[in-house]
Amino acid sequence: MVGGKRKTKTCDKGSQRRWICQLPNVLISDILARVPTKIAVRTGVLSKTWINHWKNVRGLDLESFEFSDMDTFVSFVRSFFDSHRESTIDKIRLSVHYSDCHSLLTQWTDIAIRRRIQHLDVCYYGTCCDVTMPVSLYTCKTLVHLRLCWVVLANLEVVSLPCLKTMHLECIRDLTEPTVEKLISGSPVLEDLIIIRRTSGERFIQVRSNTLKRIHIDTYTEVEIDAPLLECLRTTVYLEKNFMIINLGCSTTLDIDMVFPDVTCTKLLICDTLTDIPRFRGLVTSSYILKNIFLHSEPGPLLQFRDLSRLHVKFSKSDLEMLPAILESCPKLQSLILELIKDPSYKKNREPKLMFSTVPPCLVSSLKVVELKRLIARYEGEVELVRYFLKNSPILEKLRLDTYYTKKGMRDFLKEVVALPRCSSACEVTVL
């Protein structure tokens, strides 16, 4: 019927419960395995068939502080392992703050490993005793994901982790270079390595792997990298550069944060870091860091950026004026992501003015993808910035605008964007 309103079908609580009851057991188990155990237990209120279904989930995801006391927590964990004596366990995540649980945590980890665990995540926040991981951990044939926090790794005579793809070591007590090297060499399919120390101690680690794709280190870790398939190195640099490149992939991205203590250290740190930038094809950083790099470099385009093909920069409004200089320094840039973030020092009465005296070479010959993300209130020059990219990029293929507007504001914004002239007829504009 033309002009009539279509009636919307609504489901009452009874039909919703019947629908839930009809879900196959395999699907229910899969759903419950993806949420913390505390939430899985609560799903028992949905229907009678769900009351004890959480007990069939082959995984445990618990925080000890969610329990009223240690005895209740220990009893719950023990009952889980007792009920899975004859079955494999897919996933264990235990975060424990009770110091008296240190030996139990080692024991539970060993049980999980012997039940062919795939995802193991153990964090210990007790203060009195150390938790030492069982020897069985180092030869687990089924382990795919490993995250350890505030525990001890010892007795690594033999390491064989044939399925391990992700290794996350955070605040491991007395972590040494030989320990890390053994873990890496014993993991033939390892793709992700995360080392977070947050404490002083032995810094230097050699990372040699033909399978690693991603490395993440903090300021207390210094690495020498020989990883021909590496896709991304993420690091925070303070006082001195904490990475040395021996061998990299042909398209590696550097995701870097830098802390500048004083003027003297800043210049030395920037000069040292810039020497390695040409080894990378992608760069993820902030306008604050780029501003300091330009401030302590020779005037003109940065030669170290000339081979970058991907750039992702978090900009504050006040730093947008340096965008032309950045684009001039990247003549081979193919992908650009600009993320506008909050700037506490920004003066509301002053809007930055982008002055492009010329069209940067990358817009004419290489830039294919531009993404603008705005996580703050509207920037007054937003439409002009969009206009500039559309007008001067003859080979632009995609322009993605991830912005927030009111319903009316979005309509007005869309009208303006649609009306803008485009240099590239093949450009696809997407507004989220």
Q: Could you tell me the pLDDT band of residue 6, with boundaries at 50, 70 and 90?
A: very low
> 59 vs 38, 112, 135, 169, 424, CA distance in Å?
12, 10, 22, 21, 52
Return the pLDDT at 40: 66
Nearest residue to 132 via CA among 105, 152, 113, 103: 152
Pairing of strands 232-238, 243-247: unpaired
Nearest residue to 324 via CA among 290, 371, 373, 278: 290
CA angle 220/190/62 to nearest 5° reads 75
d(CA 231, CA 175): 25
Q: State the average pLDDT for the chain.
A: 85
Which residue is associated with the tokens 């605008």? 401
E strand segments, 178-300: 192-196, 204-208, 214-217, 222-226, 232-238, 243-247, 253-259, 282-286
Return the pLDDT at 16: 54
Percent of the chain's residues with pLDDT above 70 = 85
Q: Could you tell me the pLDDT band of residue 60, with boundaries at 50, 70 and 90?
A: confident
Answering whether pTM is above 0.95, one says no
Question: At residue 149, what are phi and psi to the nearest 5 degrees?
Answer: -140, 125
Q: Which of 130-134, 185-189, 385-389 has the highest mean pLDDT?
A: 185-189
Sign of CA dihedral 284, 287, 288, 294: positive
| DSSP assignments along 327-381, one per residue | HHT-TT--EEEEEEE--TT--TT-------SS--HHHHHT--EEEEEE-SSPPTT
Contact 118, 90 (CB under 8 A): yes
Per-residue pLDDT tens over the stretch 96-141: 998 888 899 999 999 999 999 999 999 999 887 789 999 999 999 9
What are the domain boundaries of the chain? 281-343+351-431
Return the pLDDT at 344: 63
Which residue is associated with the tokens 């300091």? 292
d(CA 67, CA 394): 61
Percent of the chain's residues with pLDDT above 90 = 47
Question: Partners of 62 in the beta sheet?
Answer: 94
Does the pLDDT at position 347 exceed 70?
no
Per-residue pLDDT tens over the stretch 291-306: 989 988 888 889 999 9
